[in-house]
Structure 1
Amino acid sequence: MSTTVVEREAYNVRQLVAASHENILTSKKLIIVFVSMSVALMISSIDLTGVTIAVPYMAKDLDAYSSISWVGTSSLISTTVFMVLFGRFSDIFSRKYTMIFAMVMLAFFDLACALAQTPTQLYVFRALCGMGNGGITTLSMVIVSDVVTLEQRGFYQGILGAFFGIGSAIGPFIASAYINHSSWRKFYFTLFPICLSSTLILIKYVPYTRPQHSMKEKLLNLDYLGFFTSSVAIIFLLIPISGGGSTFPWTSAFTISMIVIGGVFFLIFLLVEHRVSKLPLIPLRLFNESFSLTSILLHNFFFGICYYGIQYYYPYYFEVVRGYTPMETSCFLLAFVLPQTLTSICSGQLISRTKHYGFVIWIGYTLWMIAMGLLSLWGLNTKKGVTIIIMVINGLGSGFIFQPTLIAAQAHSLKRDRATVISTRNVLRTFGGSISLAISATILANTFAENLNATGSKYFSKTEIEVLKTMIYTKPDLSKYTSTQALYLKEIYMLGIKRIFYVWMACMAYCFITNMPIKDRGLQPIDEKK
């Protein structure tokens, strides 16, 4: 079959799939559906952010001091891999039932996390939770895009972002309360019934839409080869990145072979998406639509590195370096989350009223870049007021970026590609997060080990040094050490965190600079513009 025929068939499939889900609702029905999506996204956010507070305590409980970074990395890997697949499932089967499946999956594997008895079990269950979170994150946005026009989306996507922010604020507090009074496991026991209850709302109120295909046609349209090659590529690349230099040497046969295999499968994935799949997971043609769309999509990868890193390493700074309790750390995180929630709502209002998104995104990148630069002021004894001001600026900036960049991406793409653009944008953002956690874990572990090997003998015995190397991600009990030893440990923890901050600064500088040529063409898809 010629390339032209394949492309024509793929085009017809995309047109039919996209048209079958468009379902602009009346105001009353829209509010019900929108509230359902907002609650689902908030629950997903609670699950994602609650774990960031609990990491040191999970490590201690499961004796997983050297590998606990995988509690976050495993979740984001599976979110990345399955996010686009859920988008395709919803295209081929049904938005409604795919969303319900994602919610049920999150509920039961949250319960499994609560019952985990070994580090491996916890990482596997968090990975499966990541699958559910990937579906919820993508489909909540896709369903809202189905039921409102692009001109209305700024307003509604802004509120969706606000609910995500509310969940980000609630999650750490719930986890902190359980850690202080019981166990981190209770956090997951609590999420189980909440997820199931929310699923009942989806069953009752979300409209059912699907393409009129036979089951055979649906199954044939799935991009099996793309899913397999992308999964192998991501897993084989992230394992050596996250453990290189600490768990195993960079020059070892294992590290090199994993990177080579991952790289080869990534190239195969690109070939499959470009030449083979009728409904590719990530249509590479999106990157040929325009420079603006390509830049917007790539920005999501780079600010994903910053955002997901913040979710894990702001708490790490407060708990490990500053010695605050989980509840105190949760209070500090409000300085980031509440401004983010506020500007998410304001950005949606501004875009809906002005019919433009460019100036909103510019404000966001400017504030976020300033905040990343100011992180260089953080240290062992930084005043609380300075710390809070930097986090507020950071939160304000991120709120002006998350949903507005989605609106911008849809405005620079074809109407039929709205679900694909959302899932592609989300998968690039979470893939950036996966890379971020893997690289950050490597930076932190290598910095810690490097300094202990170089100067640790002045303060600790060889046996103590080896023990300390296995406790990088744990909140240390500094009362066991002398004041000099405790200060030394805090200094090398801080050095590792500072190096992570430099990565974030570079990523945000890239976003700021490459945002300059992007054109604001208003709130109509490119195929509806006159």
Structure 2
Amino acid sequence: MNAAKSKSVTVRVAEKRERGEPKSKYNEPSKGPAPGELADRLGDSHVNILPRKQLVVVLLSISMGMFIAFADQTAVTVGLDEIGRELNSQSTINWAGTSSLLANTVCQVLFGRLSDIVGRKNVFIGSLVVLGIADLACGFAQTGPQFYVFRAFAGIGQGGISSLAMVIMSDVVTLKQRGKYQGILGTSVGIGNSVGPFIMAAFISDNKHWRYFYHVFAPIIIMIAVAIYFLLPGKPKSSCEVLTPLEKLKKIDYLGIITATSALTLILIPLSGGGSTYPWDSPIVISMFIVGGVLLFSFLIIEWKVPELPMIPLRLFLNPSLCLILGSNFFFGMVYYSFLFYIPYYFQIVRGKDEVISSVFLLPIVLTQAGMSTVSGNIISYTGHYIYTVLFGYTFWTLGCGLLLVWDEHTNYGTCVVILLIIGIGIGSTFQPTMVAAQAQAKKADRAVVISTRNVLRSFGGAVGIAIASTMISNSLLKEIGTIESDPSTYSDIPQSYLDELKENIFSKIDVSYLNADQASEIRHIYMSSIQNYFYLLVPFIAVCLISSFFIRDRGLQCLDETPEDQIHKEALSVRTSRTDFSTDVESNNDHEGARGEPREVHQV
């Protein structure tokens, strides 16, 4: 009896800790807690381990948000040609992707800590509303710059949705079960990535009405936001407020936000336009890089010295394994996002396929990613280890990127599909497992800032990757066209007027209908050469991720500040919530305890 009673008391203490209840009440006057203590209290106040039925509702809610965000993000990839032509912005239409990822990256910096301060649900729903309004505005854009600005706001919404979905899931399930449930979220990402391009392609194929995509998507997003408002629970009722509303406003790291957003913007803009819009040695490009670099250094100093609640706590990078995981996510983003943008480009430009068929060739990647996200998540939850899944994934991904080098303008479509399947396996085995690994290398209260930091680096890598790919493809193509112009007789006497048109519309679908067979073959070849130069970059970038994974210490599925005993307590709470949900007999037998406001005992784990 004494042993059972002792275990029951221990579990009740763990339960209070999981709900965010402190040893003393939070609503007592503050005596000036240390910064680390305040960050821990804010993070812990959101913990709310849910029973299974309620967990399913939460999972469905945030999966809807993830699906719509990633569908919106990838849909634009197959519409670039038509959008650029209608807005008379063919030479700059790559900014539709770069601006979205730039804004996504910049605002990812604040989502994690902001959700600690003002609440997960508020930030999540706010991000959905921003995305809905931005999509509506995209449908009414009249110029290229207008469209890029609206896509930037859409990127802000997408970033908030993807970050907060992961953070919310980390609040409501234990780390041991997190791989399984976040694998399901990864499936919604894969499905969104696959469905989005098809929806856009369907609208474009039907009388070229790409605007209707945004007119239809905007109200759907707002309806999802309303549904999530009612379905998604807020902070646990038993959790006391750590800060008053005024204190919350004062704790926001405004200086860090300003320096980070300014630095990232000034670095990414010249990176995207250098060599095409402006020469690399032009004063504007050089000055932007210098000022951006100074601001980035200033941001690091500010985060180290100034705020009580920094957007990105630099202490995270003192852990070698966590530093490797976060750093490799930068290269992950470089390959992943640029890949989603330029695989359809290959099939449209080099192979001459329409938007619908180009979207079909994304399916081997995104559907395999969706399936492997679920499989890898369950493997991690079952084995209690993540490193083998990550190594397996990066190995396949590196192999797939290496095989891309065999692609040319005549590669068999079956070969293309097999290579894309290999890459999809690699992506699905690393997309969510790396996040579980990152959380296992940090404290429980840091889970939100760890997720946001990971997403910042991944999105920043994506913006850099798309910018590098765009610059490399455009510069390489301009060089090839210059070679043709210098000796037209060697290249089947391609008309100069046609070459001038290509230089003005680098990222638009080419029309070879009025060229002869030899001329058309030459044009497709120079485009293929430009894309292949980009493929060469993918291999070393993803190889960095693979090599760094060998140096990551697999600590199992417990956070840094958890002991094995803490993990047992969390499993006990999970058992208790499941029993509360499904065992009405047990519930009725313990009604007298519930009436006193005491938690029921769990006598075995």
TM-score tier (shorter): over 0.9
**AA at the equivalent of 2:218:** F
Corresponding residue number in structure 1 for 2:73: 48
2:377 corresponds to which of 348, 362, 366: 348
Name the TM-score, length of structure 2 as normaliser.
Answer: 0.85
Tell me the CA shift for residue 286 of structure 1.
Answer: 0.4
Corresponding residue number in structure 2 for 1:99: 124
Match status 1:232 vs 2:247? no
More helix by share: 1
Tell me the CA shift for residue 234 of structure 1.
Answer: 1.1
Unaligned runs of 5+ in 2: 1-31, 565-605
Deviates more, 1:178-187 or 1:211-220: 211-220
Corresponding residue number in structure 2 for 1:24: 49
1:35 corresponds to which of 34, 45, 60: 60
1:91-240 mapped onto 2 (5 Å cutoff): 91-182=116-207, 183-209=209-235, 211-240=241-270
1:452-491 mapped onto 2 (5 Å cutoff): 452-457=481-486, 458=488, 459-460=493-494, 462-491=496-525
Tell me the CA shift for residue 482 of structure 1.
Answer: 2.7
**1-structure distance, mates of 2:63, 2:264:** 30
**1-structure distance, mates of 2:352, 2:563:** 55
**AA at the equivalent of 1:106:** L
**AA at the equivalent of 1:113:** C
**2-structure distance, mates of 1:489, 1:529:** 63
Corresponding residue number in structure 1 for 2:533: 499
1:61 corresponds to which of 77, 82, 86: 86
* 1:156-212, Cα deviation, whole Å (9 max, x unpaired): 000000011011111011011111013111111121121111112211111112843
**2-structure distance, mates of 1:463, 1:352:** 61
Tell me the CA shift for residue 464 of structure 1.
Answer: 4.0
* 1:315-369, Cα deviation, whole Å (9 max, x unpaired): 0001111111111111111111111111000001101111111111111011000
Q: Secondary structure at the match of 1:161?
A: helix
2:349 corresponds to which of 320, 340, 352: 320
**2-structure distance, mates of 1:252, 1:8:** 50
Unaligned runs of 5+ in 1: 1-6
Deviates more, 1:139-148 or 1:228-237: 228-237
**2-structure distance, mates of 1:421, 1:480:** 55
Tell me the CA shift for residue 462 of structure 1.
Answer: 4.8
**2-structure distance, mates of 1:436, 1:274:** 28
Deviates more, 1:15-24 or 1:480-489: 480-489
Tell me the CA shift for residue 230 of structure 1.
Answer: 1.1
**1-structure distance, mates of 2:141, 2:514:** 30
Q: Secondary structure at the match of 1:330?
A: helix
* Residues 515, 135 of structure 1: alpha-carbon distance in 2 compared, 3 angstrom cutoff: same
1:285 corresponds to which of 274, 294, 315: 315
CA RMSD after TM alignment: 1.4
Deviates more, 1:520-529 or 1:117-126: 520-529
1:426 corresponds to which of 442, 455, 460: 455
* 1:114-151, Cα deviation, whole Å (9 max, x unpaired): 11110011000000000000100000110111011001
Contact map agreement 2:106 2:265 (CA 8 A) in 1:
no
**AA at the equivalent of 1:195:** I
Tell me the CA shift for residue 497 of structure 1.
Answer: 1.0
- Percent identity of the aligned residues? 45
Q: How many residues align?
A: 523
1:522 corresponds to which of 556, 559, 563: 556
Tell me the CA shift for residue 454 of structure 1.
Answer: 2.0
**AA at the equivalent of 1:212:** V
Q: Secondary structure at the match of 1:160?
A: helix
Name the TM-score, length of structure 1 as normaliser.
Answer: 0.97
**2-structure distance, mates of 1:485, 1:224:** 57
**1-structure distance, mates of 2:93, 2:550:** 39
Contact map agreement 2:44 2:444 (CA 8 A) in 1:
no
Q: Secondary structure at the match of 2:361?
A: helix
**2-structure distance, mates of 1:297, 1:506:** 17
2:438 corresponds to which of 398, 409, 412: 409
**1-structure distance, mates of 2:229, 2:544:** 43
